[in-house]
Chain A
Amino acid sequence: SVQRPRPRVLLKAPTLAEMEEMTTSEEEESP
C-alpha cells in the first residue's frame, strides 16, 4: 500500500498590498 505523506503546514502570507505597506513603513523608518 502507498504511504500517504503527512499534510503540509499552511504558511500564512501577507497580501501583496500588505507587503507593500510593510516595505513602505520600513523605508520610512530607515533614514
Chain B
Amino acid sequence: RQVTVQRKEKDFQGMLEYHKEDEALLIRNLVTDLKPQMLSGTVPCLPAYILYMCVRYADNTNDDLKVHSLLTSTINGIKKVLKKHNDDFEMTSFWLSNTCRLLHCLKQYSGDEGFMTQNTAKQNEHCLKNFDLTEYRQVLSDLSIQIYQQLIKIAEGLLQPMIVSAMLENESIQGLSGVKPMGYRKRSSSMADGDNSYCLEAIIRQMNCFHTVMCDQGLDPEIILQVFKQLFYMITAVTLNNLLLRKDVCSWSTGMQLRYNISQLEEWLRGRNLHQSGAAQTMEPLIQAAQLLQLKKKTREDAEAICSLCTSLSTQQIVKILNLYTPLNEFEERVTVSFIRTIQAQLQDRNDPQQLLLDSKHMFPVLFPFNPSSLTMDSIHIPACLSLEFLNEV
C-alpha cells in the first residue's frame, strides 16, 4: 500500500488552525460523511492525525471551550457513523483504528513522560501545552471498547451461518463420505441444504477479508490479534455446542474431518502471523472433542487415555459425546455403559463447570496497549478529496 506522506515546509509546526464556526463542517467532512475508500493510498488513520492537529491548535491558543467542543463533536460524530453503519465491518474497523489512533496521539503528545519514551525531539515539540486531556482519553477508551464490540458482533454475524456446515458437515477429505455412520449416510441436515451449505474455504475467505481490511486501515496489531482470538473462540463454541447436541455428527468420520478443518485454521493463523494471538488455544476443547471421536473406546487403558487427553472438556461433555457416539458400521460397537462409568469414576475428582454447552456469546476483555506512531505531524499531507481547505497549516 502506498503511503502519501510529504515533507512539508519547515515552518509548519504540525497544527491546523480552524474557526469555531467551521467545526461542524470539519466533523461532517472528516467523520460523518467520510468514506474510508476515499483515503486509500494515504497514511492510515489520517482523520485521527488531522483531528489531533486541530486539538493541538485549540490547545495552543489556550481555548478550553474549543478543545472541549471539538472533542465532544468528534466523539458524537463517530458514534453517529457507527450507528448508521452498524453492520458494516469496513466502516467499523476504520473508526476503531482512528479512535485508537486519536487516543494514542493524546497520550503520545500529552507531555506525560511515560508516553514519550519513543518520541523524537521533533515529536516532543508537538506536545500539548496547556491542557491535560486525561478525562477525554478515558472517554475515547470507552468509545474504543464500544466500537470493538460492534466490530466483533458484525464479524460474528458474518461467520455464524457458515460454522456448522463448514466445520461439521462439509466433507473435504476424499473417501470419508463412504464412512458416514449407519443410518446417516444419505442424511444431510437442514443447514447443509442448498444455499446454506459452506465449506471451510468460505470461513477462511471471510477471515482473510477481515484481516486485510484491518491491516490496511492501520488497526493496532495487538487489537487484530484479540479480534481473531475472539472469533476463533466463537467458531469453537458454536461447533462444539452443535457436536454436543447432534448424534449424526458424533462419529469417527466427523472427528477426522473436524481435526483436519482445525488444522487448516491453525495453518491459516500461522500464515497470517496470528499464531501468538491465543486463538489456537481457544480451539483446544474442539481439538480434544475431535480426538475423542477418533480414539478407541473399549478397554480400561482406552478410558485412561481419554481422561488424560481430554483436559479441556468437562466430564459432562466427555460423557455426552460418548453417549452420542454413533458407530460407523456394523463392525464397530457402541460405547458401552460400563466404559462410560469407568470414565466417570476416573474423572469424579475433577472440579468441572456444571453447564454442558459453551457460552458462544462470551467476550474476552479487550486491551488497547499504547502504540505510539513514528509519524511526525508536520509530515502529514491533507488530500484535496477531504474538502478541508478551511484548515490552515500553522
Contact = CB atoms under 8 A, between A and B. Distances in A.
Contacts of A9: 64, 130-132
A20 B139 CA distance: 11
B76 A8 contact: no
Given A19-B75, A23-B76, A11 B135 contact: yes
A15 B141 CA distance: 11
B76 A11 contact: no
B211 interface: no
A19 B79 CA distance: 10
B146 A19 contact: no
B183 to A, nearest CB: 55
Contacts of B146: 16
Contacts of A16: 75, 139, 142-143, 146
Tell me the dominant secondary structure on chain A's binding face.
loop
Nearest to A26: B76
Contacts, number: 51
B143 A13 contact: no
Given A8-B128, A8-B130, A13-B71, A19 B135 contact: no
Contacts of A31: none
Contacts of B128: 8
B96 to A, nearest CB: 15
Interface string A1-15: 000010111111111
A13 B130 contact: no
B339 to A, nearest CB: 55
Contacts of B366: none
A15 B139 contact: yes
Contacts of B135: 10-13
A5 B143 CA distance: 31
A19 B76 contact: yes
A13 B129 CA distance: 18
Contacts of A13: 68, 71, 133, 135-136, 138-139
Interface in B117-134: 128-134
B57 to A, nearest CB: 15
B72 A19 contact: yes
Contact of B111 (A8, A12, A14, A20): A8
Contacts of B324: none
Given A7-B132, A10-B131, 15 more contacts: A8-B128, A8-B132, A11-B133, A11-B135, A12-B135, A13-B133, A13-B136, A13-B139, A16-B75, A16-B139, A16-B146, A19-B72, A19-B79, A20-B79, A23-B79
Interface of B: 64, 67-68, 71-72, 75-76, 79, 111, 128-136, 138-139, 142-143, 146
